[in-house]
Amino acid sequence: MMRKIWMILLSSLFLQGCFFQDQNSTIHHEDTRFMMDTIVTIETTGKSEDTLKSTTDKAFAAFQEIADETDSYAPHGPKDLYAINEKAGTGPQKAAPHLLAILKSAASHPHQELSLTLGPVIKIWNDNREKKTVPSRAEIADALTLTKGSRVRIDETTGTLTLMPGTQIDLGAVAKGYAVEEAAKVLQKEGGFQTALINAGNIKVLGEKPDHKPWRIGIQDPKDPEKVLGTLSVPPGTAIATSGDYQRYYEVSGVRYHHILNPQTGWPSRNAHSVTVVTQSAFWADFYSTLLFVMTPKDAMTLVENNPSLEMVYQDLDGTLHISSGLKDLFVQGQ
C-alpha cells in the first residue's frame, strides 16, 4: 500500500497466447500511457480505427480523472485526496465524487481488516525506503494510533468527508482497480469495440475473442519473472488482480521489506508471497487481493469459499499454492 515511485516493467499478470488476431478485417488498436505510477495499456479490436481511438481516449480520460482525485502525494484540486488530507481535523470538506464512491464502498465491506487510513504509517516506510533504513517499533506504534477507530466520516447528503486530526487516507490498495473498472464502464458505454483489455497491473477483459476461446492470463512466479505460477482461462467481463511481496520492496541486511502492510502491526505482512483474485469487478479484485494477502492461507480460503463471486490463487511463504474450488477447471499450474 506504499506509493510506487518507479515504473514496473513487468506486470504480475500478463497475457498468454495471441488475443488480437486480425480476422475478417478486424482492427487492433493499442494505447499505452503512464498513470498512477504505473504503465496502463488499453487494447481494443473493432471495425473502425477512429472509433476505437475515440473510445480509448475517453477511457483514459476517466482513468486520469480518478488518478488525480485519489493522489495523496500531489495537489490537483480543492476536492481531491491531497486537499482532504491537508485539512484533516478541520471539519467537513467537500470531496470529489470518485473519492466518495471509493470510501463509501470500502466502508460498507464487512471485512475491515483492510485499512485505507494507513497514510501516517506508509509515510514512515516511504521515508525509510529512500534511506534504506528500517523504522523503529516505537515510530510505527505511534503512527498506528492515528489509524485506529473511526477516522473518517462520510456524508453523502452534503458530499463531504470529515477526517479526525492526524488522519491521512491512502488509496494505493484500491484506487487502481477502481480506475480500471471505471475505464471499462466507459468502453462499454461508448461501444464500437469487439474485444477490450485494460491492463494496469490489474486486468479487466471485455468481449468474446474472435476464436471464441477463453481469455488466458498468466500469473507471474514471484521467484522468477520469466515464469508463471499458472494460467487462468476466464470469460469476458472478468477482472483479475495480484498482490505480491516481490513487486515493490527494498532490502536491509538481507531482509526484504515490501509494500503491503498489515494494518494491525504496521509492518509488512508475512503470510503470502502472492495472492491473485478473480472476480467481476476490478475494484473488488484489487481490494480483495490486498485484504487476502494480509490474512493466513486458512482464513483467506474460508473467506473466499464463502463468497460465490470470488476466486483465489494464494501462494504462501513455503511456495504452496492454495487454489479456491471455483478455479478447478480454470487454472492450469505451471503453464
**pTM of the predicted model over 0.85:** yes
Q: Which tens digit of pLDDT belongs to each residue from 156-183? A: 999 999 999 999 999 999 999 999 999 9
Per-position b or e across 250-273, b if 16+ CB within 10 A of its CB? beeeeeebbbbbbbeebbbbebbb
Which class for 231: exposed (0-12), middle (13-18), buried (19 or more C-beta within 10 A)?
middle
Q: Quick one: average pLDDT of 309-322?
A: 96
CB-based contact 15:218 (threshold 8 Å): yes
Provide the pLDDT for residue 13. Answer: 62
Q: How far apart are CA 311 and CA 21, in angstroms?
A: 29
pLDDT, averaged across the chain: 91
CB-based contact 156:91 (threshold 8 Å): no
Q: Quick one: average pLDDT of 61-78?
A: 97
Q: Which pLDDT band, with edges at 50, 70 and 90, does 211 fall under?
A: confident
10 pLDDT above the threshold of 90: no
Q: Which pLDDT band, with edges at 50, 70 and 90, does 16 fall under?
A: low
Provide the pLDDT for residue 15. Answer: 60
Q: Quick one: average pLDDT of 238-257?
A: 93
Q: Which pLDDT band, with edges at 50, 70 and 90, does 12 fall under?
A: low
Provide the pLDDT for residue 297. Answer: 97
Q: Which pLDDT band, with edges at 50, 70 and 90, does 17 fall under?
A: low
CB-based contact 59:66 (threshold 8 Å): no
Q: Which tens digit of pLDDT belongs to each residue from 224-235? A: 888 999 999 999
Residue by residue, DSSP assigns 65-100 as HHHHHT-SSS---TTSHHHHHHTTTSS-EE--HHHH
Provide the pLDDT for residue 109. Answer: 84
Q: Which tens digit of pLDDT belongs to each residue from 108-157? A: 887 777 899 999 999 999 999 999 999 999 999 999 999 998 999 999 99
